Structure formats: structure tokens, C-alpha cells
Chain A
Amino acid sequence: GENVEQHPSTLSVQEGDSAVIKCTYSDSASNYFPWYKQELGKGPQLIIDIRSNVGEKKDQRIAVTLNKTAKHFSLHITETQPEDSAVYFCAAQRNTDKLIFGTGTRLQVFP
């Protein structure tokens, strides 16, 4: 079946540094790729998404890139801040099928 692999599982960075989280999907027909941030004790919250007709999307300090040929997509956070500390999930979806989530990356930003 479809699956999404996410790496790394944990990531520690110094405040101000960049953080990169990578995902690989198996279903080549996937056309929607959201990223969710989950803070402790809360539900996941969408922070950015990208569709298959776009290679890159940026929103302030957050950017997502998509390589359809390699079936890779990545989340880039620049100038990290302590409040960026959370668990980040990538997901992939084909049309109106269910979202397939990655296993999550725990990001810790140290002051």
C-alpha cells in the first residue's frame, strides 16, 4: 500500500540555524503534500502545503520543495526559534483519497 517515509525522527538545532525534514512517498499519483506541526498536548496544525504542479512554496521562514521525479518533498525552516520546537508531520494524498502521514520528526530548538 501507499506509505510515506520521514527523516530524521529527531532533530536538534541551535536557535537561528536552519532545519530540514525530508519525506519520500510511494504513490506516484500523489498530488497534494501538506505539512503539519503538532505542539505538546495539541492536535496537528497545517503550516504549509504544496501541490504537484508547483516545485517550491515559501511562507516567511518556512519553505517546502517537491521533486516529483524522485518522489521527495522537504520542509525547510530558516532562522529557527524555540517556539518552532514541536513534532512535524508530512503527508501525501492522491486526489480525494485519504491523507497518508509520515511518522513524524521531533524538532528541538535550543536557545
Chain B
Amino acid sequence: DSGVTQTPKHLITATGQRVTLRCSPRSGDLSVYWYQQSLDQGLQFLIQYYNGEERAKGNILERFSAQQFPDLHSELNLSSLELGDSALYFCASSVEPSAPSGEQFFGPGTRLTVL
């Protein structure tokens, strides 16, 4: 158990809908990262927050957004969902803004299925 929690574990929804994925980092970790894992794309970095502020952006679509709240939990919002958004979404956390000094601890993931 990494100490990072993600809810829900599974999510099934329809095209065009909007969903919110939630992540609670390890106690004491200030950085939260979101990744998308699909079969043909591997692990793709989406976005990073550090202590409530956006720190880095990766291949995140404009239909997706995220935020980190004062209690350091984070939410990833996915809207106007398409079939291709079906994937595993992972959250990771670290103490420092980023490696190499800080190991990233991954949560168990949320499996999103868009029908």
C-alpha cells in the first residue's frame, strides 16, 4: 500500500458525460501528479500540482482539468468524454516538487470506461 488513495476504483459512463476522479496523496506529500495509462500509449503524464499550484503540464486535453485543494487532495475532471478516453488514470504523490530527490508514489488507479 503506497498511502495514495484514489476514488472511485471503477467508473463506467457514456460519451459526452463529465466525471471527476479524486486523489488523496500520502500524508506530508505536497506534490500530486496525474497520469493516463492506455493499452497503446503507456503511462502519459497529464499534469502536476504542488501545494495547490499548477506546476507542470503534459499531454492534457483541453476537455480535462485538475485542481489541488487546501487539504492537498486533488481532483481530475474529464468532460465531453469520448470513447478514446477509456483508460486507467493514476495519481502519484511526492514530498518534493519532483524527482530526482523525491520518489513518486502511485495510487491504485481509477479505471474509466466510456461507452
Interface of A with B (CB < 8 Å)? 31-32, 34, 36, 41-46, 49, 51, 89, 93, 95-104
Interface centre among A36, A43, A101, A104 (most CB of B within 10 A): A43
Residues of B within 8 A of A34 (CB): 99, 103-104
Contacts of A41 in B (CB 8 A): 108
Across the interface, do A44 and B58 meet the contact criterion of CB distance under 8 Å? no
Chain B interface size range: 20 to 34
- A interface SS class: loop
Query: Given A32-B99, A89-B42, A104-B42, are A99 and B108 neighbors across the interface (CB < 8 Å)?
Result: no
Question: A97 — which chain B residues lie within 8 A by C-beta?
Answer: 56, 98
Question: Known interface pairs A31-B100, A45-B2, A93-B100. Does A98 touch B42 (Cβ–Cβ under 8 Å)?
Answer: no
User: Which residues of B line the A interface, CB within 8 A?
Assistant: 2, 4, 42-45, 48, 56, 58, 90, 92, 97-100, 103-109
* Apart from A32-B100, A46-B105, A101-B43, 7 more pairs, CB < 8 Å: A31-B100, A34-B104, A44-B90, A96-B97, A100-B45, A101-B45, A104-B43
Can you pick out 27 interface pairs between chain A and chain B where the beta carbons lie within 8 Å of each other?
A: A31-B100, A34-B103, A34-B104, A36-B106, A41-B108, A43-B2, A43-B4, A43-B90, A43-B92, A43-B108, A43-B109, A44-B43, A45-B106, A46-B105, A49-B103, A51-B100, A89-B43, A93-B99, A96-B98, A97-B56, A98-B48, A98-B56, A99-B45, A99-B99, A100-B45, A103-B42, A104-B42
